[in-house]
Structure 1
């Protein structure tokens, strides 16, 4: 797989280059900012692009806005947003409107190199990989919506795990529940959010985010997801 990297930290950028090449992939370009990003894509389209959220010159939202622009201009290009931050406004728009070949992972929560590389391959294949913390923050941001208020703490936890791509059995093991209980929670989530379950885990969560995003933008929050009682 040929991968483009757009990351301002030279240490992380070069580290990603070495990691990807060691894993058998080719880095088609390693850019420190978005100034040459579109020209590079026009000249040499990769199989996947990795972008940070906060890039020069302002270090605010250049990367996530570039990701949105890329999705409009090159909708078939798989994207991974890899950042320390959840840029809630643009992240919600990106996740709500583009449901395939997309990932949003938090750097500090990537704990396993093998899983990270596997995530890239899953995104390349059209999958969706979302860090559950990203989902939790987006759901918290939208909690003014009455439908989100209907979810219990346990249902929010299950929803975040579904968004991470976990199977019902994996969620059951993670939360020490039976598979039947997990299925019951998932059914309840979509009933409360007035969504039809379509059998595809990540797509269902993305549909929920798209649905609640229509209620409008809220203020950013750093609220952490609440702890659940077993």
Structure 2
């Protein structure tokens, strides 16, 4: 019998903390600790060694990016820990900082998405499986930025859809299901995207290609 996933939760607002914990428990996830500050978050993660840490970005003690700093410390000590960071504001720089050099096991969601339990549970499942789960609205913001002589303008509408789903962390199979096309068709689009954006063959591999796309979009 498989053991339930074990989660640690960091959120300083009691109602939000209890709500997220309830969503996780209803999905059969064991919430082994729930704290209201970043210092305790690091401590309980080190103590319980959870499968996933879910935290708000802005938490005590400084009410700045304390949650983000905390999960960096947690992953530095134990890289296999999956993390999901929740943000009240759409700030793509937070997502890029969180990903760093390794997008595997990383999720970034806008806090408003917690209202949809399926979204947060799907994100948990993906990051625990060492995939990435980045909020579509954040990716849309990165895609929508205006730049002089933007190579994104050369992409077809379908390629832009594929690029967005790649950046969110979806595999070719996942993209094919989202867009109702064959995996072979997705692979052709991915090849075309890399050629047009000059990402090269070094972007091969699921995590490397997500990282390549995010770095490109973050420029």
Task: Work out whether the TM-score is over 0.5.
Answer: yes
What residue number does 1:155 align with?
A: 159
Closer, same or farther in 2 for the Cα pair 1:79/1:144, shift >3 Å?
A: farther
Deviations 1:194-227 (A, max 9, x none): 2225253x642322213565x5xxxxxxxxxxxx
What residue number does 2:192 align with?
A: 188
What residue number does 1:35 align with?
A: 39
What residue number does 1:169 align with?
A: 176
> Aligned Cα RMSD in Å?
3.0
Q: 2:204 aligns with which of 198, 201, 214?
A: 198
1:207 corresponds to 2:212: yes
8 Å CA contact 2:39–2:70 kept in 1: the answer is no
Q: Any idea what SS the aligned residue of 2:108 has?
A: strand
TM-score of the aligned structures, taking structure 1 as reference length: 0.75
Deviation at 1:169, TM superposition (A): 2.4
Deviation at 1:3, TM superposition (A): 0.4
1:44 corresponds to 2:51: no
What residue number does 1:66 align with?
A: 70
Closer, same or farther in 2 for the Cα pair 1:172/1:38, shift >3 Å?
A: closer
8 Å CA contact 1:80–1:103 kept in 2: the answer is yes
**5 Å matches for 1:94-133?**
94-110=98-114, 112-133=116-137
Cα distance between partner residues in 2 of 1:148 and 1:62 = 34
8 Å CA contact 1:171–1:182 kept in 2: the answer is no
Gaps of 5+ in 1: 216-230
Deviations 1:54-111 (A, max 9, x none): 2234433222222223232322211011222233334212224122111112232356
Closer, same or farther in 2 for the Cα pair 1:70/1:90, shift >3 Å?
A: farther
Cα distance between partner residues in 1 of 2:61 and 2:144 = 29
TM-score of the aligned structures, taking structure 2 as reference length: 0.78
Cα distance between partner residues in 1 of 2:143 and 2:18 = 34
Cα distance between partner residues in 2 of 1:145 and 1:32 = 46
Cα distance between partner residues in 2 of 1:60 and 1:141 = 25
Q: 1:53 aligns with which of 49, 54, 57?
A: 57
